[in-house]
């Protein structure tokens, strides 16, 4: 069989899909606990062994993505907060990063201390349109060079000074990668080059530095950060589905929302965003998850007035149990109902924030009225009963109090076979297989 092994090493579980490269069919799937406490290869090998048991396939390529060990922590430094810094933030999210710090303007002693305190894995240094302001970008690069900065830097600002600043940083021992300007002109957001550069830095510097595995094999296997792979899969799914869509991925620690919208007259009209419109976007809600971050879901649901105080009191106790034991599995139907309720609240709050533009800086948020497909993902949905999984997505589609226009005719589906990340890893070299795999999701 002409197959590939696609694996996602998550913080809790490692999921594996074996895909037919000729037709894009799912041959088999399996999962195993991620062995972060020892060596992640133990859990990866166990999951792959379970997925490939029963057939002989010779040399099978492995495509691996990872969010274990906290994924990719990114800091953004820009020229000013409403344009280049915000553009950099959007690009970072599209690259699968957890944007842990955003700064704008000239770095001083306090700003540098705050940057260090954020503990980024990578710094995205941006500023100035091509041919525009170069002083702030030059100042910030010089400041990092003089500070003996050793965290990798992706330089994606004003093209007029890019080569000079690369030499400055490299000469000071700063690991630096150059990309095209993320904002070459006002209102034009160009994420592709910087997204690729962030991905390469993640693979070269971050994966090996997290101590997830003793040898170099795991580092060689990993192709992308998991959210980056998922966004690539979402982009292919949008092409296959032929319309606007939203994906809500409810995890143990975070809830990620991905949306693909069709560019319209807003792209070039007078109301366009000066930081550029990103029609394929992602937001990360680090306080919303069904295990580590379950207490944050309850707090956010109270703030959003999604639950009454009496229900919140009961949910808070259940959330505390889940946060204390990320591997917690409900022992009965009542526990699974609570899981589904927490997941529904996480998904609803996350989509409200995404639509409002919270965390992206978009003035008008994301217009989701024309969304035709709502995909639910995450272990809590894959392992739920059909009724419980449907209830989570129904909660999102019937949320009439979020302050945003609901999708008018969205079809809900659940990524039960976890094909989005696999398709994203296949997309570059095996487009037919990626599209065929996602076609199965649409039914």
Helices (H), 175-308: 192-201, 207-209, 217-221, 226-241, 294-303
- Does position 133 have pLDDT exceeding 50, yes or no? yes
CATH for 73-206, among 3.40.50.2000, 3.30.2350.10, 3.40.50.2300, 3.40.50.280? Answer: 3.40.50.280
User: How confident is the prediction for the chain on average, in pLDDT?
Assistant: 88
Q: What does the domain layout of the chain look like in residue ranges?
A: 73-206, 242-416
Band of residue 58 on the pLDDT scale cut at 50, 70, 90 = low
pLDDT of residue 266: 46
DSSP state, residue 406: P
Band of residue 118 on the pLDDT scale cut at 50, 70, 90 = very high
Residue predicted with more confidence, 247 or 279: 247
Cβ proximity of 7 and 14 under 8 Å: yes
- Residue 274, token pair as written in the block: 């000066």
For the entire predicted model, the pTM comes to 0.82
pLDDT of residue 168: 97
**Rounded-to-integer distance, Cα 222 and Cα 220, Å:** 6
pLDDT tens digit string along 204-219?
Answer: 888 877 888 988 899 9
Of all residues in the chain, the percent with pLDDT exceeding 70 is 93
DSSP state, residue 147: T
pLDDT of residue 270: 37
pLDDT tens digit string along 298-346?
Answer: 999 999 999 998 899 999 999 999 999 877 889 899 999 999 999 999 9
Helices (H), 53-125: 84-94, 109-117
Beta pairing partners, 246: 259, 374
pLDDT tens digit string along 274-302?
Answer: 444 557 778 888 889 999 899 999 999 99
Band of residue 176 on the pLDDT scale cut at 50, 70, 90 = very high
pLDDT of residue 107: 96
pLDDT tens digit string along 93-112?
Answer: 877 788 889 999 999 999 99
- Residue 409, token pair as written in the block: 């005719």
- Residue 18, token pair as written in the block: 């074996």
Longest alpha-carbon distance in the chain? 63
Residue 23's region, left for phi above 0, alpha for psi from -120 to 50, else beta, is alpha
Pairing of strands 176-178, 255-260: unpaired
pLDDT of residue 268: 47
- Residue 318, token pair as written in the block: 């259940």
Band of residue 358 on the pLDDT scale cut at 50, 70, 90 = low
Cβ proximity of 421 and 29 under 8 Å: no
Q: What mean pLDDT do residues 340-362 have?
A: 83
DSSP state, residue 203: I
């Amino acid at each position: 069989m002409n197959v590939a092994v696609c694996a996602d090493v998550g913080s809790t579980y490692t999921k594996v899909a074996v895909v037919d490269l000729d037709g894009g069919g799912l041959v088999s799937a399996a999962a195993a606990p991620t062995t972060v406490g020892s060596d992640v290869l133990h859990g990866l090998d166990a999951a792959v062994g379970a997925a490939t048991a029963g057939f002989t396939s010779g040399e099978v390529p492995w495509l691996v993505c990872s969010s274990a060990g906290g994924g990719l922590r990114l800091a953004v430094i820009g020229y000013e907060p409403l344009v280049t810094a915000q553009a950099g933030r959007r690009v970072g999210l599209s690259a699968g990063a957890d944007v842990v710090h955003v700064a704008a303007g000239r770095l001083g002693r306090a700003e540098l201390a705050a940057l260090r305190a954020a503990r980024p894995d990578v710094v995205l240094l941006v500023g100035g349109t091509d041919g525009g302001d170069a002083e702030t970008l030059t100042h910030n690069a010089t400041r990092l060079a003089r500070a003996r900065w050793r965290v990798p830097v992706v330089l994606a600002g004003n093209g007029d000074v890019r080569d000079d600043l690369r030499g400055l940083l490299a000469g000071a021992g700063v690991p630096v990668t150059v990309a095209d300007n993320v904002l070459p002109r006002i209102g034009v957001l160009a994420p592709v080059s910087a997204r690729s550069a962030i991905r390469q830095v993640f693979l070269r510097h971050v994966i090996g530095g997290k101590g997830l595995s003793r040898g170099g094999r795991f580092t060689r296997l990993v192709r992308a950060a998991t959210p980056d792979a998922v966004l690539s899969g979402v982009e292919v799914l949008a092409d296959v589905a032929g319309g606007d869509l939203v994906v809500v991925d409810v995890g143990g620690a975070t809830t990620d929302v991905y949306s693909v919208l069709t560019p319209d007259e807003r792209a070039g009209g007078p109301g366009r965003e000066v930081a550029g419109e990103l029609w394929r976007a992602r937001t990360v809600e680090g306080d919303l998850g069904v295990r580590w971050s379950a207490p944050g879901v309850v707090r956010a649901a109270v703030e959003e007035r999604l639950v009454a105080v009496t229900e919140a009191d009961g949910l808070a106790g259940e959330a505390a149990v889940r946060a204390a034991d990320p591997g917690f599995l409900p022992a009965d139907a009542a526990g699974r109902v609570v899981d589904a309720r927490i997941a529904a609240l996480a998904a609803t709050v996350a989509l409200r924030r995404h639509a409002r533009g919270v965390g992206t800086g978009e003035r008008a948020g994301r217009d989701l009225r024309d969304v035709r497909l709502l995909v639910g993902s995450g272990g809590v949905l894959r392992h739920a009963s059909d009724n419980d999984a449907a209830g989570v997505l129904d909660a999102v589609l019937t949320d009439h109090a979020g302050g945003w226009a609901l999708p008018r005719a969205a079809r809900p589906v659940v990524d039960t076979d976890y094909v989005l990340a696999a398709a994203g890893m296949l997309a570059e070299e095996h487009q037919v297989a990626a599209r065929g795999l996602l076609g199965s999701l649409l039914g």
